[in-house]
Chain A
Amino acid sequence: MSALAAMLARDLRVAVRVGGGALIGVLFFLVVVTLTPLALGPDLALLQRIGPAILWLAALLANLLALDRLFAADHEDGSLDLIMTGRAPLELVVAVKGLAQWLTTGLPLVIATPPIGLFLNLDAKAEGALVLTLLVGTPGLTFIGLIGAALAVTLRRGGLLLAVLVLPLTVPVLIFGVAAANAAVMGPVPFGTPFTILCAFTLASIVVGPFAAAAALRQEME
């Protein structure tokens, strides 16, 4: 257990120190949300209607952006080999790395959502629903992303491949995340229905993601 805790602490430290990319995802999020009204026009009613969708898409992309280095950096400096020869089960280590990844990229997105949502003319109710769906949905994105990050770890141009592999798999998160956020604002479905399914999907990906990612790492490091 202490090995896993050390792993978590290390990943968090690496992410926030110089050269780590913890807040770049949030910056990307902000930039995408700023660019969207420039493309759509400053129609506040329109922005309010599609705001949740824009924020969800931006969160999806920001999340993807950070995944690229998740295992690749460890592979390059050799620590991945140490991790794999270590005594802690690889699945758990991968899960802990996923958790650290979410704490440094997913959680900041969730925290940044309320102020950024103001740009899109979202009211308090929509903000609340959006924060809640992102809080529940982004771990799902991270843990699905683990699989892609593990598959792409030794590849040149792995980042591009990662996007192609991971994005189609995140279709359910996007659908139910946006659906829940919209349901809270305009209905007609109760917020709980899509939100519960979103929770279920996230839980399932927390189970499947580490196993698949660990399997991918094992076969690649052979």
Chain B
Amino acid sequence: MAKRKIRVMVAKPGLDGHDRGARVLARCFRDAGFEVIYTGCHQTPAMIAASAIQEDVDLVGLSCLSGAHRYLFPQVVSLLKEKGADDITVIGGGIIPQQDFQKLYDAGIKAIFVPGTTLDTIVNWVNSNVKPVERK
């Protein structure tokens, strides 16, 4: 039997066209051996949640540099929950002030990565925290 592959989605919610970071991350996930679905900019939380379910991903990585993360990230988490898909891990990254971290953790964001984080750190986090087979 082949080994389970980790499937991840990289998405940019809201009105923010700064996608270099998201693209770098998509590439880095690919190089880590994951299957990466990249959905591009200007996505609503509803589009992201629907796509994540259609693609059966294990992880959704949200990138936001516009300052709307406190509104957009928790929305994705609650929409996934609404659709019975709360086993999908959601992480976030971008320009996110330290004082917002706890609020996002409380809303169900499992990890936050800000500028300066090495790609290895993120890949290692995924490899140790996301287990595709153990999901329901």
- Indicate whether A and B interact: no
Q: Report which B residues bind A (CB closer than 8 A).
A: none
